[in-house]
Structure 1
Amino acid sequence: MSKNIRVLIQGTGFAGQGHAQAFRFAGAEVVGIVGRTPKVVQQVASDMNIPYAGTDWQQALIDCKPDVVSIATPGGAHEEAIQQAIEFGCHVFSDKPLTTCGESAKKLHDLAQAKKVKTAFAASFRYMPDVIHAKRLVEAGVIGEPLEVECISHFNLERSIPFGWSHRKEDGGGRLSNNFTHKLSIVTSIIGEKILSIMGEVRDDLGKAPIVEGVHNFKNRRDYIPDDLNDPSLKWGESNVEWSYTVLAQLESKLATKPVSVLFKHGGLHPRFNEDHIVIYGSKGAIYIKGHYASGPLYVYDDNKQWVEVALPEDIVKNIPDVEGDTERNWRYLIRELVKDIKGESVAPYQTFKEGAQYQQLIDLIRKNDNWVDVSHLQY
């Protein structure tokens, strides 16, 4: 494909604007943006110099004739828009979660395959530089045979963040959809993509959140926390998603003789005492990456039984997209790969709707919370 790749964006908030900038970074032409509110979408289009602004997605597909669409709305709004875009013959970049249930996510994957369009699924924190470095070190045998992985994070989110899509399962909310997807992507990129088995437990420790008008940008939602949470006129919305989860998984690795055990432990509302981290344990050593999404630095437990910080290789540093913010940088990395693929250039495998459908089916299984064994009748 020699002509400019034309992109239509759905969503005007933080993600929509970030996707638009990422596609421009990759050399594509952003021809239009669609949102729910005329005034907002027109303002964003003007600010970002996007020529077309609209509120009707189907009409925008007709008017803009995009080669690829970018879906940057909450998960509950993805299915119909993606289906329409695929039927229109567009390639699709979608933020996570792909949809709100495994069945609908699989239908989109199947449709994309049938229509032979390319897709990308933005569980994109596998592109963190230290994750790429860790993958290289594991493949080089630095820690021997990989045995276990441990992912620990506590976000200490404010319980009074205004009620919105993140509180509702039907809108794509929940920590599994918006945290676990990234963690699973990180681990599979390092260990291996084949997930053999999984089980988990989830908790909703929030219950409710205040309903506040005017929240548009997800990143600024804390600015709208009410000053007086005891105001009798304040309305409240009920949460129906998990805010904490514990997941155990087994992954296949070409470097291991047995399945690699993985622990994912996340507390969305709980404070951390020590650093969030990801650790890969092996038969000869270990790799520790600081940060809940492996922001670094990276340490290797070496032959001297010491944790030694290891700097990023220069080639990884040079390949990092130049933008502030981990989320924005990882979007640029993945979108760059998608654009190259659409152009017919050679690229490494990246996550598609195959993983989007797989992850959502796994989330459905974990949310069943049915892995408990009743031992109350045992005598001690």
Structure 2
Amino acid sequence: MKVLIAGTGFAAEGHAQAFRAAGATIAGIVGRTPHVVAELAQKLGIPHAGIDWSEALRICNPDIVSIATPGGAHYGPIKQAIAHGAHVFCDKPMTATADTAAELHRLADQAGVKTAYAASFRYAPGVLHAKQLVAQGAIGEPTEVECISHFNLERGIPFGWSHRREDGGGRLNNNFTHTLSIVASVLGDRILSVMGEVRDDLERAPIVQGVHNFATRRDFMPKDLNDPTLEWGTSNVEWSYTVMARIESALASKPVSVLFRHGGLVPRFHEDHIVFYGREGAIYVEGHYGSGQLHLFDKSGKWRAMPLPDDIAARIPDTKGETEQCWHYLAREFTRDIRGEPHEDYPTFREGAQYQQIIELIRTEGNWTSLD
């Protein structure tokens, strides 16, 4: 299978390596800046490099397109890829708006192409382990979940797509998508209701030239944020959020209550974590995306650190970095499905469109009751 990649940053390189590991050939890569896309194509040994997406679709004739650009740049390339008949692997967020995400979901269904939505930390080892334990009844009937994270991001990170709603920025698009996918993978994806609050406590960021790779953006931070010559861009997205949801689960007789709490600019005191509570115990997974040690509280009345089962360890791709591992996992299952081989379930544009609708609902903050 041939893959065409949109993007030239950290995600583009990660997607290329993931699809190669899954047995696909990277036929081409497209970016905005000619010398940047040419250098990355040479580095990765990709035959076609260009800045014209339509031309690349025609020349490369891909079986799969991999969308590795910021969310605001997804809509056009995905729509063209679907019309071309290519299967689509898209990083989150799916698009910058709920309407465009729903449209692409509908178009993909009508065209009969397969889609993968890379809210992919559901494949972190601790999450896979938690899913297995919950299904086995280790905590009894699930009752509630909490997902807590504090990133303490630097206020000097250069102004870019992550600061702009229209470009797919914001912590809901780039953090909540993962944690919601994690909880849905463990409990089930029937999300009954949701409410939330968001806050932009950053407000502005310095404008710096030369940033092309999201992973190296910190290298461009100004040394002095009080420098009077600095230019500033205005943030229009949330950097913190609190969301509550109710999820129907085949494992529970009542809807499961879920709390998602994220502070993008504040420091953590204890470890970020995800906890699944049940009537007979609890599962605590270290790390904001469940990639750390798993602890089980059961009928013994004590917490125990649990080793990762051999069957799960054998499924984890052998590559560095938790983000890269999850991309590899998803690309593997996606290509297996396209080939007609046995595969695990994976998130598609159904989830991508649903998550964008949920994010827009949360951003309206329409659930406050005034006590005047």
Shared fold (TM-score greater than 0.5)?
A: yes
Q: Which amino acid aligns with 1:348?
A: E
TM-score computed with the length of structure 2 as normaliser = 0.99
2:202 partner amino acid: L
Rounded Cα–Cα distance in structure 2 between residues aligned with 1:367 and 1:43: 39
For 1:51 and 1:318, the matched residues in 2 are separated by 33
Counterpart for residue 105 of structure 2: 109
The answer to whether residue 311 in structure 2 is matched with residue 315 in structure 1 is: yes
Residue 14 of structure 2 aligns to a residue whose secondary structure is helix
* 2:128 aligned with 1:153: no
- The whole-number CA distance in structure 2 between the counterparts of 1:294 and 1:145 is 21
> CA offsets, 1:177-217, max 9 Å, x none?
00000000000111111101000000000000000000111
1:69 is aligned to 65
Q: Deviations over 1:151-202 (max 9, x none)?
A: 1100000011000000000000000000000000000111111101000000
CA-CA distance at 1:304 after TM superposition? 2.0
The SS at the match of 1:144 is coil
Distance in 2, matches of 1:88 and 1:17, equals 23
CA distance in 1, matches of 2:172, 2:227: 32
User: Residues of 2 paired with 1:330 and 1:277: CA distance?
Assistant: 18
Q: 2:275 maps to what in 1? A: 279
User: Any idea what the Cα deviations from partners look like across 1:213-270, whole Å, max 9, x if unmatched?
Assistant: 0011101111111112222221000000000000000001111110000000000001
| Matched residue type, 1:87 | A
2:183 pairs with 180, 187, 197, which one? 187
Taking the aligned partners of 2:279 and 2:228, their CA distance within structure 1 comes to: 59
Q: Which residue among 194, 197, 202 is the counterpart of 1:198?
A: 194
Alignment partner of 1:142 is 2:141: no
Secondary structure of residue in 1 paired with 2:66: strand
Residue matched to 2:252 = 256
The answer to whether 1:210 aligns with 2:210 is no
Q: Given the alignment of the two structures, is residue 27 of structure 1 paired with residue 23 of structure 2, yes or no? A: yes
Partner SS state of residue 27, structure 1: coil
TM-score normalised by the chain length of structure 1: 0.97
1:243 to 236, 239, 260: 239
1:127 Cα deviation from its structure 2 partner: 0.2
- Following superposition, the deviation at residue 31 of structure 1 comes to 0.5
Distance in 2 between the 1:348 and 1:273 partners?
Answer: 36
Please give the root-mean-square deviation of Cα atoms over the aligned residues, in Å. 0.6
Give the deviation of 1:369 after TM superposition. Answer: 1.1
SS in 2 for 1:209: strand
What amino acid maps onto 1:79 in structure 2? Y
- Give the whole-Å Cα distance in 1 for the aligned partners of 2:270 and 2:27: 46
* 1:260-301, Cα deviation, whole Å (9 max, x unpaired): 000000000011111111000000000000111111200011
| C-alpha separation in 2, matches of 1:201 and 1:306 | 35
SS of the counterpart of 2:74? helix
SS across alignment from 2:368:
coil
In the alignment, which of 247, 265, 275 is matched to residue 269 of structure 1?
Answer: 265
| Mapped partners of 1:250, 1:9: distance in 2 | 37
Unaligned runs of 5+ in 1: none
For 1:267, the aligned partner's letter is G
> After superposition, where does 1:40-119 map in structure 2 within 5 Å?
40-119=36-115
> How far did residue 348 of structure 1 move?
2.2
Count of residue pairs the alignment pairs up? 372
What are the Cα deviations for residues 336-363 of structure 1, in whole angstroms up to 9, with x where unaligned? 0111111111212210000000000000
Q: Deviations 1:58-97 (Å, cap 9, x if unpaired)?
A: 0000011000000000000000000000000000000000
Unpaired runs of at least 5, structure 2: none
Of 99, 123, 128 in structure 2, the residue corresponding to residue 132 of structure 1 is 128
Equivalent in the alignment of 2:371: 375
Match of 1:364 in 2: 360
- For 1:348 and 1:309, how far apart are their aligned partners in 2? 27
Structure 2 Cα separation of the partners of residues 182 and 86 of structure 1 = 25
Give me the whole-angstrom Cα distance separating, in 1, the residues matched to 2:110 and 2:342: 22
Alignment of structure 1 residues 326-345 onto 2, 5 Å = 326-345=322-341
> What percentage of residue pairs aligned between the two structures are identical?
65
Report whether the alignment pairs 1:224 with 2:220.
Answer: yes
Return the alpha-carbon distance in structure 2 between the equivalents of residues 102 and 286 of structure 1.
Answer: 35
**SS of alignment partner, residue 249 of structure 1:** strand
Q: What are the superposed Cα offsets for residues 97-143 of structure 1, whole Å, 9 maximum, x if unpaired? A: 00011111000000000000000000000000111111111111110
Letter in 1 for 2:199: R
Q: Hey, which bits of structure 1, 4+ residues long, moved more than 4 A? A: none
| Separation of aligned partners in 2, 1:21 and 1:344 | 22
- Counterpart residue number, 1:176: 172
SS of the residue 1:286 aligns to = strand
